[in-house]
Structure 1
Amino acid sequence: MKLQIRKALKSDISTILNFIKLLADYEKLSHEVVATPQLLEEQIFGDKSPVQVLIAELDSKPVGFALYFYNFSTFLGRKGIYLEDLFVLPETRGQGVGKSLLQALAVQAVAEGCGRVEWSVLDWNKPAIDFYKSIGAGPMDEWTVYRLTGENLKAFAGGAK
């Protein structure tokens, strides 16, 4: 089988949304998906969008994706890549697709002088954790992610004067 990693095109929007829904289902978070094809097209392919997507294809069939954007490390004084989502179809796992997507990001990060590539993983996702450790990634156990969303975000923003 021939594996190819390529940048996503606007014509991939339905594929990207399908991967997002499959990932959400795997993570038991389907109820949180409100993205639409129109919203994704605007946010991923709109002017000055920081979001980028790689598509993995086996024999020209999409089998996975990586959605990412740039962040910045003040300590390193360099930008980095934040991998928001990585998903590979279950029937094609174990064939190097996920590793190839991550390697493509690593190559890009090194070529662009980035200081790091980072991502989050659910603590119960042992297969993913084992895979990430196998490529040399390490957890940041001393950090806790905080998030402000939905009504709490609006309420907090509304309190700013």
Structure 2
Amino acid sequence: MASVRIREAQEGDCGHILRLIRELAEYEKLSDQVKISEEALRADGFGENPFYHCLVAEILAPGEPQEPCVVGYGLYCFVYSTWKGRAIYLEDIYVMPAYRGQGIGSKIIKKVAEVALDQGCSQFRLAVLDWNKGAMDLYKALGAQDLTEAEGWHSFCFHREALRELAGR
């Protein structure tokens, strides 16, 4: 039986990460919104001051000489709560459909929780589309609180054109 390893992504994983980002976007019916490149992932995640951090999930087949297969990822960054201090935000979590139901997503989430605690974070935040009931059920089963239900929070985003307008450019 194959085993799963969750590890910090390395620069050489950027091609796999981009492949999985595209699969996630297709799953979420938002493929047209993926504008990131492998080069940007390298530059933004593996420099002196990375903008993001990433974990990858690999399947290791026992006794086989082939390379491990990257089947999932969790991309996160550190944020700051003015009420609670240090926090971690999981931007994406994705496991290829053929590997779901094996606990890989839970392992990625648990590893992010370990990173959060190691870095002194008091919160671990993430967002999910309102139709993804399976993900919401998983997060709740792992102990997450739905802030939309509990506190009425809604997420907003200023995209590039709105940013330019706000900045007067």
- After TM superposition, the score normalised by the length of structure 1 is 0.94
Tell me which residue corresponds to 1:113: 120
Tell me which residue corresponds to 2:38: 37
Question: What is the SS of the residue equivalent to 2:147?
Answer: coil
Tell me which residue corresponds to 2:59: 58
Over the residues paired in the alignment, what is the CA RMSD in angstroms? 1.1
- Which amino acid in structure 2 is aligned with residue 150 of structure 1? R
1:100 & 1:23 partners in 2: Cα distance? 18
Summarize deviations over 1:29-56 as a string: whole Å, max 9, x none: 1010011111111111122113100001
Specify every segment of 5 or more residues in structure 1 that has no aligned partner in the other structure, as ranges: none
Percentage of pairs with the same residue = 38
Q: Which runs of 4+ in 1 moved over 3 A?
A: none
Cα shift at 1:143: 0.5
- Which amino acid in structure 1 is aligned with residue 14 of structure 2? I
Question: What is the SS of the residue equivalent to 1:14?
Answer: helix
The within-5 A match list for 1:40-119 is 40-59=41-60, 60-76=68-84, 78-119=85-126
- After TM superposition, the score normalised by the length of structure 2 is 0.90
Tell me which residue corresponds to 2:145: 138
Q: How many residues align?
A: 158
Specify every segment of 5 or more residues in structure 2 that has no aligned partner in the other structure, as ranges: 61-67
